[in-house]
Amino acid sequence: MRRAGVSLGLVVVVGLGACTSNDGAEPTAGTGTTTTTDGGRAPDPATAVLDPAEAAPLQAVLAKVVRLNATIPEAETAARGITAAVVTDKWTWSGAAGVDAVGTTLVPTTMLGAASITKTFIAAEVVLLAKAGKLDLDAPLSQHVPHRLTRNNATVRQHLAMRSGVSDFQEENYVKLDQAVAAAPGRHWTAEQTLAYHTGPVLPPDSQFSYSNASYLLLGLLIEKVGGQPLATALRRDLAEPAGLERAAFQDGEKPLPPLAEDRNPTCGKAVDGFAPCRGFASSIAAAGGLAADAPTLARWGYELYGGRVGPSDLVRELTDGVDYGLGTFLYTTKFGNYTAYGHPGGLPDYTSMLVAVPERRLSVAVLVADGGKNAEQLTGELIRAAVPLLGS
């Protein structure tokens, strides 16, 4: 059963590798009105590596996670293993502690499932297509993706903002889907095949915020339909290559590179096929949460994307136009040292992830936990608090 818990300042249930706010409530990640970057493009990310002595407070955060796991493994901030990275305009850092599910020592470049951080890529790609005049964000998604879940004529923007009226998969849907994946863990799943398991309600568009993996699977179909290429090809060409992301894999169109952490996802069982966690699971969540990456790659992505270095100058403004949740982006106004921050969490049964960028400080942090249901948000906050003094004024 693909369920795990992730702390977002609210109770969260994760299915299909992505966070889902319970009961369709508004996310409580931030408390202010719409905030955006100042419109400036961040300078090139630094290439200099932070001196290990100066980086000791950062590594200590990771060591504490593994140390706590030895005594209180059920604690939210305890895990068998963790990797993390920080990218700034002054220095970079990456670290690792502990092991994966089979006892292999993690290193900073170990790839793990990034889960719903995938949605930042999907949203950025859709907005890029709109900027290129290939689609209209305020036109019904059904114009390009005719499907029973798009018949309410919710717009592309509403799907991106989780206000389409399309509910997430219900618990019984996940159970049946997991059973089908478990029967053939090496099988490739299409988005249409996954969506066939969705039996939840479809409400009128512009409904209240309701986290929906189904919406992002539909948006993946939109990218393929409008761009005329497989999803992984489009994301690689338009986003990963320009941002210099060599160690990101859009599964199952791409396969993760070694070293790759192994997990014990109950749906995949003992299947080890080079995907995270296995091809059947990864392909069934594709546009909703199929990304695998290492922490340095994700931290760079946050720096590039929310630093205004990807696409046209107003891309960040589009993604962060909202209260608490923009387009594929959570807006955090007070959680990380009173800085306005942007990013996305993620969770799978055996992985937990978090990406947070603080444009004001030209800082991006990524955390990948080799364990499910952990509080990656708190760990990210600890890393940010340790990193900011190292940046100076």
Query: How does DSSP assign 299-356, residue by residue?
Result: HHHHHHHHTT-SSSTTHHHHHT-SBSB-SS-EEEEEEETTEEEEEEEEEETTEEEEEE
Q: How confident is the model at residue 39 (pLDDT cuts 50, 70, 90)?
A: low
Q: How confident is the model at residue 11 (pLDDT cuts 50, 70, 90)?
A: very low
Cβ neighbors of 222 (< 8 A, separation 6 or more) are 126, 135, 141, 144, 145, 156
Distance of alpha carbon 68 from alpha carbon 369, whole angstroms: 14
Q: Which domains does the chain have, with CATH numbers?
A: 4-391 (3.40.710.10)
Q: How confident is the model at residue 393 (pLDDT cuts 50, 70, 90)?
A: confident
- The candidate with the shortest Cα–Cα distance to 351, out of 337, 331, 332, 372, is 372
Contact, 386 vs 358, CB < 8 A?
Answer: no
pLDDT at 194 over 60: yes
Summarised one tens digit per residue, pLDDT across range 93-144 is 999 999 999 999 999 999 999 999 999 999 999 999 999 999 999 999 999 9
Q: How confident is the model at residue 3 (pLDDT cuts 50, 70, 90)?
A: very low
Which pLDDT does position 12 carry in this prediction? 33
- The candidate with the shortest Cα–Cα distance to 286, out of 167, 373, 179, 188, is 188
Angle separating helix axes 171-183 and 279-289, nearest 10 degrees: 140
Distance of alpha carbon 327 from alpha carbon 308, whole angstroms: 15
**Is the bond preceding residue 57 a cis peptide, omega within 30 degrees?**
no
Cβ neighbors of 84 (< 8 A, separation 6 or more) are 58, 61, 62, 94, 95, 96, 295, 365, 366, 367, 368, 379, 383
Element holding 97 (H helix, E strand): strand 92-98
| Residue recorded with tokens 């969770």 | 347
User: Percent of the chain, pLDDT > 70?
Assistant: 90
Cβ neighbors of 74 (< 8 A, separation 6 or more) are none
CA 379 to chain centre: 16
Contact, 249 vs 257, CB < 8 A?
Answer: yes
Summarised one tens digit per residue, pLDDT across range 248-270 is 999 999 999 999 999 989 999 88
The model's pTM: 0.92
